[in-house]
Amino acid sequence: MMPGMDNNLLCADRVIKALPTEVREVLQVAVYDTVGSTNDVLREKKGQAALHGAVVLAEQQTQGRGRRGRRWCSPAGANLYCSIGWRFDGSLEVLAGLSLAVGAMVAEQITTHFDADLQLKWPNDLYYNEQKLGGILVEVLGDVTGRQSVVIGIGLNVNMPEEEGASIERPWTDLSSVVGAEVDRNALAGAVLAGVAGGLMQFAALGFAHWQAVWRRRDYLSGRSVVIDGSPPIAGIACGVNDCGALLIESTAGQLAIAGGEATLLDIGPAS
Ligand code: BTN
């Protein structure tokens, strides 16, 4: 740990104190110093009822990962690396749009508590001012007796040291730059967990359709020219997400709903 950082160390008691009572009853929060990946700590609980509501926070990840096998920059004592285990009743379809919904839950909480109006880049990146601030990695562990077990990983750049951030290949920012002050990670973790736990209960009852309107208000790609990777790649104008979380593209072949992939902007500058 770097000197001077200990007053902003993660502390399970402080995180729990920041949670509303109804959420405290649902979550079991554990704080680790160093892990490979917080998602992997929870994956080991696969098949166990204890997965539901288990939360792992870590000061540092040595094997932090993002979507598509990318590395997630996870230096010690700087950011938020958080995973939540959850079980949903039903078949795989009940998970449609889950990772987008979690992005919306996190963005709403950060706006409320830190006055930072984040945008959502399909499928599950958090953006501020054209730069990536965080991402969501949902891993489905499979069907256990008619239930879907998932691990939801949330990575937020919070107080990222410049020298560590230099290794990130895409434009990035962190929450302390956005708000202009060092961010209390325990308060942030409490706010994020409160929003996500409450949101997951709503998602279990109402699905993604409930979050679609939130998503559309924060849609970073809306109205912009994009290309979706694949063979062949698909180019067009992004025009929102449908009620399953698929990206809608207005292309020369008409309107398409893209269920998965990576969207790259073709224009530069903010959306009009
Ligand atoms: C992405 O944008 O590609 C998703 C990034 C997800 C990073 C988080 S950090 C906590 C959890 N543990 C991981 O190894 N990954 C996720």
Give per-residue pLDDT as tens, 133-149. 999 999 999 877 789 99
Q: Which of 65, 70, 150, 185 to mutate to test the pocket of ligand 1 (most atoms within 8 A of CB)?
A: 65
Residues 189 and 233 in one domain: no
Longest CA pairwise span in the chain (Å) = 57
Residue 57: partners with Cβ closer than 8 Å, 6 or more residues away: 10, 12, 15, 29, 30, 31, 32, 38, 80, 81, 82, 189
Would the CB of 79 count as within 6 Å of ligand 1?
no
Would 248 be classed as within a structural domain?
yes
- Confirm if 191 and 109 have CB atoms less than 8 A apart: yes
Q: How many CB atoms lie within 10 A of CB 101?
A: 29
Would the CB of 67 count as within 6 Å of ligand 1?
yes
Indicate if the pLDDT at residue 58 is higher than 60. yes
Residues 134 and 261 in one domain: no
**Shortest CA distance to 210 belongs to which of 97, 73, 43?**
97
Would 208 be classed as within a structural domain?
yes
Range of the domain at 247: 225-265
Indicate if the pLDDT at residue 5 is higher than 80. no
Would the CB of 135 count as within 6 Å of ligand 1?
yes
Indicate if the pLDDT at residue 2 is higher than 90. no
Instruction: List pLDDT tens digits, range 255-265.
Output: 999 999 999 99
Would 270 be classed as within a structural domain?
no
Residue 80: partners with Cβ closer than 8 Å, 6 or more residues away: 57, 134, 154, 155, 156, 158, 185, 188, 189, 192
In which band, very low, low, confident or very high, does the pLDDT at 271 lie, cut at 50, 70 and 90? very low
Would 92 be classed as within a structural domain?
yes
- Residues 211 and 80: their CA atoms lie apart, in Å, by 23
Q: How many domains does the chain have?
A: 2
Cis peptide before 123 (omega within 30 of 0): yes
Q: Which of 10, 35, 39, 73 to mutate to test the pocket of ligand 1 (most atoms within 8 A of CB)?
A: 39
Residue 195: per-residue pLDDT: 97
Indicate if the pLDDT at residue 76 is higher than 60. yes
Indicate if the pLDDT at residue 221 is higher than 90. yes
Residues 162 and 29 in one domain: yes
Residue 4: per-residue pLDDT: 45
DSSP string, 159-219: S--HHHHTT-SS-B--HHHHHTS---HHHHHHHHHHHHHHHHHHHHHH-THHHHHHHHHTB
Instruction: List pLDDT tens digits, range 181-217.
Output: 999 999 999 999 999 999 999 999 999 999 999 999 9
Would 237 be classed as within a structural domain?
yes
Of the listed ranges 7-11, 58-62, 171-175, 218-222, the least confidently predicted one is 7-11
Atom of ligand 1 nearest to the CA of 39: 12
Would 121 be classed as within a structural domain?
yes
Residues 21 and 98 in one domain: yes
Give the domain CATH number at 199. 3.30.930.10
Residues 194 and 239 in one domain: no
Residues 115 and 210 in one domain: yes
Q: Which two tokens stand for residue 46?
A: 């696969």
